[in-house]
Structure 1
Amino acid sequence: MAPLRVLILHGWQGSGPEHWQTWLAGRLEDAGAHVQYPRLPDCDVPCPDRWGAALHRELRALSRGEGERVVIAHSLGCVLWLREAAEVRPAQRVDRVVLVAPPCPGAAVPELAKFYPTGADKAAIDAASKSTRLVCSDDDEYCPGRGAAEHWGAPLELSVDLLPGAGHLNVEAGYGPWPAMEAWALGETDSLACEASPVA
């Protein structure tokens, strides 16, 4: 059986060594998966066009091998996916995507503003991946007001796992090791709502 092929997309300023994405990359590699975990260009002052070009390079590389193709994005990496979904070629369509804690327009971070509007719609999301899941909290400082479930999940008709009180689902919120995400990546569970708490 061909190994799992995974592309991990970090957010603004990257994901450091204690972040669940970095932990997950190591765990998946240990399990025999092909893992792409690029540092996107100028991640402190991100440019949508440069990030978009980097994403499509990574998708071309991901599509070169056999096996299930999975994209795991956090924060601004989710917004990047939403922006670029319409440009994903049929040959590079992936099997599963999980979008964790996408920020919303209106977050008080000037570096994020140029990534909006995304132009995302359900048809583009469905064309880019067979399945797309949103994982978010009800108190994310980067998605004030309605929250990600309502801002992104409802209009795009995404499957949503809402994790109460989980903040931005980053290191500060306690998300270093995250076994539920590992299980989802490996195809062992469909939902991250159950047993979603990270290791203390």
Structure 2
Amino acid sequence: MPENPLNVAVIIGSVREGRIAPVIASWLVGQAGKRDDVALDVIDLVETRLPGELKGHFGGERPPEVTALQPRLAAADAFVVVLPEYNRAYPGALKVMIDTYHAEWQAKPVGFVCYGGMSSGLRAVEQLRLVFAELHAVTVRDSVAFQSPWTMFDAEGHWPKDSAGCDAAAKVMLDQLTWYARALRDARTARPYAS
């Protein structure tokens, strides 16, 4: 591994019972694990136990779950959000998590791995691009999108059953993400970001 790998936080953005997001995130971690320039931190919103609404956002005391996650987000050089599309939008729990923090996102790149029905989750991603722009984050152009991923298990239960195209899409997204992560990390080191 390089001397100074990029810290990439993979955020599992679904909290629904029976979700397929952890399966997809595990696949992504396997793809990123083929690289020698990243160190991964998987953040599952189910495990963070963040409140379902913003609390202490405007100067009040924050719950311990919120303060516990803050250093992990601050340490990240980049983020990959794994998310479903629900009713043409992203999950509410993901939005609350994003809105709970601010400086942690600034001047850092965000990539997306999305899934859903006919749109493969891309409508949710397009909305999140606007959210992250407001937080001064940079979203990478190429996403990895899965249409009906629950149909992509093989007879032995492995996912995805036809991985060549998926693997290639992940490489493109990760290449863009790491380029921006390195450039922005160097820029933040040379000059603190002014929001």
The normalised TM-score by structure 2 is 0.49
Q: When you count helix as a share of all residues, which structure comes out higher? A: 2
Return the index of the structure with the highest Cα Rg.
Answer: 2
